[in-house]
Amino acid sequence: MDTAHPDPRQGNNLDPWYSQYAERTAGLTVSEVRALFAVASRPEVVSLAGGMPFVSALPQELLLNAVERTVRDHGAVALQYGSGQGSPRLREQILDVMALEGIRAGVDDVVVTTGSQHALELVSKLFLDPGDVVIAEGPSYVTALVVFRSFQAEVAHVEMDQLGLIPQSLRETIARLREQGRRIKFLYTIPSFQNPMGVTLTWERRMEVLEIARANDILVVEDNPYGLLYFDQAPPQAMRSVDEDGVIYLGTFSKTLAPGLRVGWAVAPHAIREKLILANEAAVLSPSSFSQMTVSEYLSTADWKGQIATFRDVYRDRRDAMLGALHEQLPTLRWTVPTGGFYIWLTLPDYLDSKAMLPRAVKELVAYTPGTAFYTDGGGRNAMRLSFCYPTPDFIREGIRRLAIVINSELSLLNEFAQTDPLTAQPELHEGVLPPNVG
């Protein structure tokens, strides 16, 4: 054996089976968000990192009653295997949920999955071969990027501004990829209260994006976990509402009910839907009958629309607390102002690195997600995602105070050692990339 040039796929002391893994497992890397959980869960740390819903705003008796009825009235069925497409009763109720965003569909159009993340994984399994390209917003949802890479696909990012994905950037990206002979499989987008930027794609741009996709024979995967969590005015209707043949729509109860139930769904064109059912059966046999029936009982007996309104009030108050603290503590920086959802995107001066700064922030007992987590091409170095969904308003204000100490300390240090003109905390704004503060 050549010990000077060991085979990189040979086993090692940490994992003797390393050489046996499939090549696609190289894309299964720990996301920066997941890596933060251990630190962020420490009680003394104010975590502005994870996007965990504030499930304590859901009265326990509502879910307890649903569970009790499920066991009492449907116990034998709830504890048994079910359909690979999901419960017909729940699928019919999902139609009522989607109707709030303008989607018209039939019961047979819906495939229930183990959360919308599972639906995205199934879609990727159906479409992605090694070397394929997924077009996604830049920045984009971190775990979606992990899923795409796990199928050995590459991600091409499209620029965003305060109105969402920029159509002209999409056109240019498609043209560049086609010129390179690359195979584009689909566009992945979160049009409403996007994760991580918090911005919303306007109706005019939704129509333009769909037109571009149709002209280029590109499927659109519309991920919509936050659409019902608006604070004042509802976002534009879903893209699926005007294009049933070119859009796969992903929904979930994780944000409007509880993520622990792991119930999501996909609505897809007929032929794709049939393959999704087969892929669902191959992966899990059937989604959890117990979880589906629990959600179904909740929807049939509780005021679920009123509960969503309660969540909106909770998250609006927390967003306002974060915006107020940013204005007070970091007035010279730039951030997005979401009108729904969970997140604010904070932009630092170009010469600051949010990932390098994170250990110092944790030492100051505050956590955030570095912007680089949401890109596959190294972008986002001078940005960070701040989540306002889980901490109380007081903890949010304290977290921003601690964060300001870290950022201002970095700025002071750089100013002290700068050999040129003094640095300032005002970043250079690039039209179409960094949205200005609003309000």
pLDDT at 439: 36
CA distances from 10 to 1, 152, 220, 265 (A): 11, 21, 40, 40
In angstroms, the CA 380 to CA 103 distance is 34
> pLDDT tens for residues 213-236?
999 999 999 999 999 999 999 999
End-to-end CA distance of the chain: 67
pLDDT of 426 > 70? The answer is no
> pLDDT tens for residues 116-156?
999 999 999 999 999 999 999 999 999 999 999 999 999 99
**Comparing C-alpha atoms, which of 371, 375, 378 is closest to residue 334?**
371
* CATH annotation of 18-57+307-417: 3.90.1150.10
> pLDDT tens for residues 336-394?
999 999 999 999 999 999 999 999 999 999 999 999 999 999 999 999 999 999 999 99
Structural domain spans, the chain: 18-57+307-417, 81-301
pLDDT at 377: 95
pLDDT at 264: 98
Q: If pLDDT is split at 50, 70 and 90, which confidence band does 435 have?
A: very low
Q: Strand 334-335 to strand 343-347: parallel, antiparallel, or no bridges (unpaired)?
A: antiparallel
Q: Where are the alpha helices (DSSP H) in 79-202?
A: 88-99, 116-127, 142-150, 167-179
pLDDT of 428 > 90? The answer is no
CATH top class, domain 81-301:
alpha beta
pLDDT of 5 > 60? The answer is no
The rounded Cα 327 to chain-centroid distance in angstroms is 26
Angle at 320 between CA 315 and CA 321, to 5 degrees: 95
The residue among 123 and 42 whose pLDDT is bigger is 123
What's the predicted TM-score (pTM) here? 0.90
pLDDT of 103 > 60? The answer is yes
Mean pLDDT to the nearest integer, 418-426: 49
CA distances from 17 to 25, 35, 106, 151, 420 (A): 12, 23, 47, 20, 53
> pLDDT tens for residues 302-324?
999 999 999 999 999 999 999 99
DSSP type of residue 225:
S
Asked if 219 contacts 236 with a C-beta cutoff of 8 angstroms, the reply is no
pLDDT of 424 > 50? The answer is no
pLDDT of 417 > 80? The answer is no
In angstroms, the CA 325 to CA 331 distance is 9
> pLDDT tens for residues 238-287?
999 999 999 999 999 999 999 999 999 999 999 999 999 999 999 999 99
- The per-residue pLDDT of the chain, averaged, comes to 91
